[in-house]
């Protein structure tokens, strides 16, 4: 993109060439607003709405027989959605199951793969990870009678935004028993090289898993090809699975048969589950790592959403996402250079996820001013503005318009009418 091409007509010309443009019509978009917070909560699609109504209808029409009858029998629904998710993470058949929540699934996977022995009793993470993951890792250490202050190793960041992979590799000592890292850092959008880090972990005989919450649906993965041991994620961000929607987990097939650390009834082999035996016969794929009964109505939106992703193709989504964020950064560089904004996310395509991070000392107030102008951003303490133009429903014209709104806010100092403090939910 040339640096002179900052007109609205140019943005419109990019939209005219966009092969994914028609998917915008699949989503409910508030008239007059620009929604750039799909990396926190994706918008509702018409297919997801239909899927929820369809599953409600099966309950209404079939009652308890909905578990085995109808178009989408509930007893096999988690596995069906897992299969629909495989292409997004580069999984082989049976390696993905839709179940639980991000943190519940992390607890399950750490309980399964963390086996401290002697001095090899530490978990390696990073200091920029989402807090919930760190809470879970600390509590798992405590359950083993280990002190998190000593046994949780968190790789530091030199600038508070980026983690150097060399620093992670240097921290993989012979005391590390398990590694859990984000695929994309939630604040800065940095992509970690999962292939490289997996190879380094396996050289040392260490299991490694990734939190895909901020990459799933915006960045392609090849988990099975890379040999990743496990992964987990939520489905309500880029995947548009609905607020508080059910999460997912991945277990590499080489670990099939490994006993779940937290066994539950729905981890049973399907043919044995209703024998009601007190001896657990686990499923021989990722289904084994389910615990409780699937939350059918909360899973329903994914049936519609994943069909859109499979139709659009994750590689096509990624290509457009990169163009959107590149265009956004160029506009910010050109239009907002006098207002002290810092683009704190990686700029190169290989390292940049599906959102950008703007830093500004007045970030909380600016986010409130953007919302007052019907632009929906995401604030991250203490000075971060995350902006996620989502490939399936945002446009290049919206990117252009958002920057013009932000420029006007700064020119007129509209942000000064707001308190520079986050809302209860940021």
- 93/214 same-domain check: yes
Binding-site entries: 102-103, 130-133, 211, 214, 236, 265, 293
- 179/322 same-domain check: no
What is the per-residue pLDDT for 425?
63
- 162/219 same-domain check: yes
Question: Is 165 a domain residue?
Answer: yes
- 184/102 same-domain check: yes
Domain boundary among 267, 289, 312: 312
Binding-site entries for pyridoxal 5'-phosphate: 102-103, 130-133, 211, 214, 236, 265, 293
Question: Is 90 a domain residue?
Answer: yes
Q: What CATH number should be reported for the domain holding residue 97?
A: 3.40.640.10
Q: In terms of residue numbers, what domain contains 13?
A: 8-31+315-417
Summarised one tens digit per residue, pLDDT across range 203-250 is 999 999 999 999 999 999 999 999 999 999 999 999 999 999 999 999
pLDDT at residue 343 is higher than 50: yes
- 269/334 same-domain check: no
Place of tokens 């048969």: 257
pLDDT at residue 424 is higher than 70: no
Q: What CATH number should be reported for the domain holding residue 27?
A: 3.90.1150.10
Question: Is 2 a domain residue?
Answer: no
- For the chain, the domain total comes to 2
Beta carbons within 8 Å of 22's beta carbon, 6+ residues apart = none
Q: Are 189 and 353 in contact (CB under 8 A)?
A: yes
- 343/401 same-domain check: yes
- 169/141 same-domain check: yes
pLDDT at residue 52 is higher than 80: yes
pLDDT band for position 381 (cuts 50, 70, 90)? confident
- 123/190 same-domain check: yes
pLDDT band for position 382 (cuts 50, 70, 90)? confident
Summarised one tens digit per residue, pLDDT across range 74-103 is 999 999 999 999 999 999 999 999 999 999
- 407/295 same-domain check: no
- 254/360 same-domain check: no
Place of tokens 């704190």: 344
pLDDT at residue 285 is higher than 80: yes
Whole-number Å distance between alpha carbons of 346 and 332: 15
Q: Output the CA angle 240-242-246, nearest 5 degrees.
A: 100
DSSP assigned state of 348? S
- 189/217 same-domain check: yes
Summarised one tens digit per residue, pLDDT across range 112-142 is 999 999 999 999 999 999 999 999 999 999 9
- 97/194 same-domain check: yes
Question: Is 198 a domain residue?
Answer: yes
Model pTM score: 0.96
């Amino acid at each position: 993109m040339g640096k002179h091409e900052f007109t609205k007509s140019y943005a419109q010309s990019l939209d005219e060439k966009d092969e994914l443009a028609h998917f915008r019509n699949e989503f409910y978009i508030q008239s007059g607003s620009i929604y750039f917070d799909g990396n926190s909560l994706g918008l509702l699609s018409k297919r997801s709405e239909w899927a929820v109504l369809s599953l409600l209808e099966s309950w209404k029409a079939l009652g308890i027989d909905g578990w085995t009858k109808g178009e989408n029998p509930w007893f096999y629904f988690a596995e069906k959605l897992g299969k629909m998710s495989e292409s997004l993470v580069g999984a082989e058949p049976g390696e993905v199951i839709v179940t639980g929540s991000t943190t519940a699934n992390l607890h399950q996977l750490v309980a399964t793969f963390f086996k401290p022995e002697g001095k090899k009793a530490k978990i390696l993470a990073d200091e920029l990870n989402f807090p919930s993951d760190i809470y879970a890792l600390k509590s798992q250490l405590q359950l083993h009678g280990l002190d998190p202050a000593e046994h949780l190793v968190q790789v530091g960041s030199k600038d508070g935004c980026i983690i150097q992979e060399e620093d992670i590799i240097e921290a993989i000592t012979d005391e590390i028993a398990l590694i859990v890292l984000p695929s994309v850092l939630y604040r800065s959008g940095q992509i970690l090289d999962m292939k490289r880090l997996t190879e380094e972990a396996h050289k040392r005989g260490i299991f490694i898993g990734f939190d895909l919450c901020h990459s799933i649906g915006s960045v392609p993965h090849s988990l099975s090809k890379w040999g990743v041991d496990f992964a987990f994620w939520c489905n309500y961000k880029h995947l548009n699975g609905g607020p508080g929607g059910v999460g997912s987990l991945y277990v590499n097939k080489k670990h099939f048969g490994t006993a779940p650390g937290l066994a539950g009834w729905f981890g049973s082999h399907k043919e044995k589950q209703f024998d009601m035996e007190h001896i657990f016969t686990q499923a021989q794929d990722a289904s084994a790592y389910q615990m409780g009964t699937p939350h059918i109505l909360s899973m329903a939106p994914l049936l519609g959403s994943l069909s859109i992703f499979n139709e659009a193709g994750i590689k096509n989504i990624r290509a457009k996402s990169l163009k959107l964020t590149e265009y956004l950064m160029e506009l910010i560089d050109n239009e907002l250079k006098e207002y002290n904004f810092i683009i704190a996310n990686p700029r190169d395509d290989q390292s940049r996820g599906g959102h950008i991070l703007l830093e500004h000392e007045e970030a909380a107030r600016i986010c409130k001013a953007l919302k007052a102008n019907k632009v929906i951003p995401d604030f991250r303490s203490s000075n971060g503005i995350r902006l996620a133009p989502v490939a399936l429903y945002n446009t290049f014209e919206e990117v252009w318009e958002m920057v013009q709104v932000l420029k006007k806010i700064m020119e007129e100092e509209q942000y000064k009418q707001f308190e520079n403090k986050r809302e209860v939910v940021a």
